[in-house]
């Protein structure tokens, strides 16, 4: 009769000294390549200094990063943040969950989600949410997560015609003007304050300093919204947008049209927008190509 083998996964908060090992979790095949190539292909997790920036930012925003060890070897990590600006209402959010290839199916991911849930509960949240990778939906379902909303992705190739628009309705804002207390309605693949500070202070993976405006719009609750162009590569930017409340579809269309004009003044060639599925009609009416719909937003009740 065969012996039972108990696999013990140790999960603990990450330390700065762990950052050198994140490349082994995410992209070990890139070890030895130049730093710029590692960052371009693997993001923050491909470089120790960039990963340390990420870890400090998480904790500065009240979040946490946990790592998983199996037999003394680091084999996975989970990054969890407050998402107080979520359109659905405040909740905790799993920004990244990754288990090293060769160690999947051993309970590592489950142990990391358990740690993230415990952290979220201790912070007073009733829900832990995430947008999973396509191949991970079944994993999250098995843990009790349910699809509670959907998102979409859209993009527009911008063509300059004639004189560059004059943005009289816009007023410059800077990094210190973070839109705390506002609702994130575009750029919704990550919590808004995380995206805001990454755009301004990430010198590792961002192409250039962002451009941000407060846009006057009397029809919106609060009379204004905040638009930020997050440059993630040459010529391409993502719209991060904050409002005081939830815009109606026609209001969101107006926001997108203004964002397009802002992009035209700042050298953006392709503007990417990820937002809630309800705004697909507004994106199409504004001339955007909808790349993907029905992206699942999954939620787990933890309280």
pLDDT grade for 6, boundaries at 50, 70 and 90: very low
pLDDT grade for 160, boundaries at 50, 70 and 90: confident
Euclidean distance between CA atoms 21 and 55, whole angstroms: 13
β-bridge pairing 91-99 and 127-130? parallel
Q: What is the mean pLDDT of residues 56-79?
A: 96
**Residue 118 pLDDT > 80:** yes
Mean residue pLDDT of the chain comes to 94
Q: What is the mean pLDDT of residues 212-236?
A: 94
Rama region for 227: left / alpha / beta (φ>0; ψ in -120 to 50; rest): beta
**Residue 163 pLDDT > 90:** no
pLDDT grade for 116, boundaries at 50, 70 and 90: very high
- Closest alpha carbon to 239 in 224, 217, 260: 260
Beta strand ranges found along the chain (DSSP E):
9-13, 64-70, 73-83, 91-99, 127-130, 146-157, 170-172, 183-186, 211-216, 224-233, 236-243, 270-276, 289-301
Measured CA angle at 35 (ends 33, 39), to 5 deg: 105
**Residue 277 pLDDT > 80:** yes
pLDDT of residue 10: 95
Euclidean distance between CA atoms 240 and 14, whole angstroms: 28
pLDDT grade for 232, boundaries at 50, 70 and 90: confident
**Residue 95 pLDDT > 50:** yes
What's phi and psi for 32, nearest 5 deg? 95, -15
Q: What is the mean pLDDT of residues 285-289?
A: 97
Q: What is the mean pLDDT of residues 247-257?
A: 96
252 three-class SS: helix
CB 130 within 8 A of CB 298: yes
- Closest alpha carbon to 15 in 79, 58, 67, 68: 67
Residue 102 per-residue DSSP state? T
pLDDT grade for 162, boundaries at 50, 70 and 90: low
Furthest CA-CA distance within the chain: 81
Q: What is the mean pLDDT of residues 3-22?
A: 83
**Residue 1 pLDDT > 80:** no
Residue 182 per-residue DSSP state? P
**Residue 168 pLDDT > 90:** no
**Residue 267 pLDDT > 90:** no
Residue 75, token pair as written in the block: 């084999």
- 203-232 as b/e: b if 16+ CB within 10 A: ebbbeeebbbbbbebeebeeebbbbbbbbe
pLDDT in tens, 171-199: 999 999 999 999 999 999 999 999 999 99
pLDDT grade for 7, boundaries at 50, 70 and 90: low
Number of C-beta neighbours around residue 28 at 10 A: 13
Q: What is the mean pLDDT of residues 261-270?
A: 92
Euclidean distance between CA atoms 199 and 268, whole angstroms: 15
What is the value of pTM for the model shown?
A: 0.93
**Residue 253 pLDDT > 70:** yes
């Amino acid at each position: 009769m065969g012996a039972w083998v108990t696999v013990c996964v140790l999960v603990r908060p990450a330390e700065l000294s762990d950052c050198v090992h994140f490349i082994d979790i995410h992209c070990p095949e890139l070890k030895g390549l130049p730093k710029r190539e590692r960052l371009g292909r693997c993001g923050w997790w491909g470089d120790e200094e960039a990963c340390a920036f990420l870890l400090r930012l998480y904790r500065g925003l009240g979040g946490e990063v946990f790592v998983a060890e199996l037999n003394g070897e680091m084999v996975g990590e989970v990054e969890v943040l407050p998402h107080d600006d979520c359109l659905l209402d405040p909740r905790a959010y799993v920004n990244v969950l990754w288990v090293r290839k060769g160690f999947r199916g051993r309970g590592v991911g489950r142990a990391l989600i358990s740690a993230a849930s415990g952290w979220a509960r201790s912070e007073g949240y009733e829900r832990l949410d995430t947008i999973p990778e396509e191949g991970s939906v079944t994993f999250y379902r098995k843990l009790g997560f349910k699809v509670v909303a959907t998102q979409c992705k859209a993009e527009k190739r911008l063509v300059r015609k004639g004189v560059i628009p004059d943005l009289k309705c816009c007023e410059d804002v800077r990094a210190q003007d973070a839109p705390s207390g506002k609702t994130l309605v575009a750029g919704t693949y990550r919590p808004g304050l995380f995206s805001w500070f990454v755009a301004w202070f990430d010198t590792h993976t961002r192409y250039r300093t962002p451009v941000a405006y407060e846009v006057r719009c009397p029809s919106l609750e609060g009379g204004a919204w905040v638009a930020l162009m997050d440059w993630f590569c040459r010529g391409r930017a993502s719209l991060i947008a904050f409002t005081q409340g939830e815009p109606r579809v026609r209001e969101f269309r107006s926001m997108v049209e203004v964002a397009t004009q802002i992009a035209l003044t700042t050298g953006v060639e392709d503007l990417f927008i990820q937002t809630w599925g309800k705004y697909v009609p507004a994106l199409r009416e504004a001339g955007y190509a909808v790349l993907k719909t029905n992206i699942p937003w999954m939620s787990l009740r933890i309280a």
